Amino acid sequence: MRTVWRRVTTPGTAGVRIIGIDPGLANVGYGVIQHDRNKSCLLAAGTITTPSTMETAQRLKQIHDGLAAVIETWQPSIAALEDLFFCTNVRTAIAVAQGRGACILATANSGIILAEYTPLQIKMAVTGYGRATKQQVEKMVRVVLAQQEGVWSNHAADALAVALCHAHSMHFKVLATAAGAPLPARGKRKWR
């Protein structure tokens, strides 16, 4: 297992700790942030990699164990996971779905809340544009978290975008509730 740990800042105590996860079979990106009101701070980011020469069952175990170790180390209260996107290659879709399953199991075993977001929702929350490129998303992640170039992999950047999407969603729900707006029913994506 090759897990790249990147402790970027000292963990704080205020706010909520969120782990964002970019699932896959070859690479699983993770990013842990501390979010308090309208400010997010980077705690850790990295990538769990599995070699293609390894059997699928062992790769999934490695993903589960690696993510469980990250969760144990950073103790997030919420996990945000990128939802499956439309994929024309069935083999790729199956591999990503298997990796997602290992990630979901790791979060379920730890007892933390799991939220899932589509790529469109993530791009909208981070950049304000649903068709933003990966480079635009990564640039905004770096701006929001006040980080320099070259600190993390593309997978870790995607995971941090998922975590920021959840932080944005939490902030929006607090504002909407304070304004008296009805929130969507659980599992629904649209307002009533």
Q: For each of the domains in the chain, give its residue range(s) and CATH number, in order of start.
A: 2-178 (3.30.420.10)
pLDDT(4) > 80: no
**% the chain with pLDDT above 70:** 80
Q: What are the tokens at 140?
A: 């905004």
pLDDT tens figures, 74-93: 999 999 999 987 677 888 88
Banded pLDDT at 189 (limits 50, 70, 90): very low
Q: Which long-range contacts (CB under 8 A, 24 or more apart) does 110-114 make?
A: 110/68, 110/71, 110/72, 112/19, 112/71, 112/76, 112/77, 112/78, 112/79, 113/77, 113/78, 113/79, 114/78, 114/79, 114/80, 114/81
Q: At what angle do helices 154-178 and 119-127 cross, to 10 degrees?
A: 80
pLDDT for residue 130 = 92
Q: Any idea how long the chain is?
A: 192
- Give me the residue label for tokens 């969507």: 184
pLDDT tens figures, 132-180: 999 999 999 999 998 876 668 999 999 999 999 999 987 555 444 555 6
Mean of all residue pLDDT scores within the chain: 86
pLDDT(7) > 60: no
Which of 185 and 55 is assigned the larger pLDDT? 55
Alpha-helical (H) ranges within the chain are 56-74, 90-110, 119-127, 134-144, 154-178
Surface-to-core class of residue 191, CB atoms within 10 Å of its CB (0-12 exposed, 13-18 middle, 19+ buried)? exposed
pLDDT for residue 3 = 47
Q: Is 125 strand, coil or helix?
A: helix
Q: What are the tokens at 128?
A: 């304000």
Interval 36-51 mean pLDDT: 93
The DSSP bridge partners found for residue 21 are 30, 81
